[in-house]
Amino acid sequence: MRIDSHHHFWNYSPEAYPWIGGDMSVLKRDFAPADLKPLLDEAGIGGVISVQARTEEVENEFLLQHAAEDDWILGVVGWLDLTADDAAEKIARFAEKPKAVGLREVLQGMPERDYCLREDFNRGLSVLHDFGLTYDLLIYADQLDAAIQCVDRHPAQPFVLDHLAKPVICGPGGVDDAWAASIRELAKREHVFCKLSGMITEVIPSLEDWDPDLMGPWFDVVLEAFGPERLMFGSDWPVCLLRGEYADWVQCVEFWISGMSEAEQAAILGGNAKRFYGLG
């Protein structure tokens, strides 16, 4: 089965989603399962992982309710404050929910760039493995070195890097050496995976058009680092609509992996997400 390992739903309001700024008018509406399902059917994708888009606990119930109503929503990556004194109790309650598979914090937005090294954060993070939950790393490239230190503190915890750590994509020859070196270092940790997602929104605005060749050098770095056995397709829909359609991104990833074996393509397009998120 093909699986989209990373997408969002929301009922839009400026108060609930302040990160959706003035230049993101395409995102300022509701996005529901009925909007996504036709796109999945067209792309031959049989299941999805829904990922939090708000740092509020009500987000968990919102996504889990959708998952309860649609069997093609295979799992939910929610949000909890891992620094809270009662984090362990809340993690335990979340893990009991059908289709709860992992948690994520919006580390990319933290003023404290090494937030993931806080003792209270790591105390909460250390509980996830006991309940079979994964952790999505949402960071920018400048936080990669801190993320490496964080994952080293939790060698049994499954991690997945979202959006390649959002490198600036500025055209052929523009791969930042420091980003590439940190990606290769992070990938040495066998318990860390990487999502092929969120790339088109990192293409610099002056490049109005993008294509697989433009972004290919960044894909080549993560493919070399993680290998086809630890990469997974994700759309980042509906955020991807800022720069392209759902089908455009599917076709881009299909182009990149077209020269691989059938088994490697199947792993990237679904098998690795199934294995990482423990989907039965």
Q: Which amino acid appears at position 252 of this protein? A: C
Question: Given this model, what pLDDT does residue 280 score?
Answer: 78
Q: Model confidence over 130-171: pLDDT tens digits?
A: 999 999 999 999 999 999 999 999 999 999 999 999 999 997
CATH of domain 3-276: 3.20.20.140
Inter-residue long-range contacts of 84-92, CB under 8 Å, 24+ positions, other chains counted:
84/124, 87/123, 87/124, 87/127, 88/124, 88/127, 90/57, 91/124, 91/127, 91/128, 91/131, 91/133, 92/127, 92/131
- Which amino acid makes up residue 119? E
pLDDT for res 206 = 82
Q: Is residue 250 within a helix (H) or strand (E), and if so which, with residue range?
A: helix 246-257
Q: Hey, what's the torsion of the CAs at 264, 229, 274, 94, to 10 degrees?
A: -160
Q: Is the pLDDT of residue 36 over 80?
A: yes
Tokens of 82: 């891992």
pLDDT band at 88 (very low <50, low <70, confident <90, very high): very high
Q: Which residue has the tokens 């036709």?
A: 38
Residue 38: is its pLDDT beyond 80?
Answer: yes
Provide the edge-to-edge strand list for the sheet that holds 73-78: 3-7, 47-51, 73-78, 100-105, 134-137, 159-161, 192-196, 231-233
Look up residue 255 and give its DSSP letter.
Answer: H
Position 87 scores a pLDDT of 98
Round to whole Å and give the CA distance between 178 and 44. Answer: 37
pTM: 0.97
Task: Give the whole-angstrom CA distance, residue 16 versus residue 210.
Answer: 31
CA 205 to CA 203: how far, in whole Å?
A: 6
Q: Scan for tokens 């929503």, then name that residue.
A: 73
Q: Would you say residue 173 has pLDDT above 80? A: no
- The backbone torsions φ and ψ at residue 98, rounded to the nearest 5 degrees and listed phi first, read -60, 135
Mean pLDDT for all residues in the chain = 97
For residue 83, the tally of other CB atoms under 10 A from its CB is: 16
CB 142 within 8 A of CB 183: no
CA 240 to the chain's CA centroid: 12
| Domain limits, the chain | 3-276
Q: Average pLDDT, stretch 53-81?
A: 98
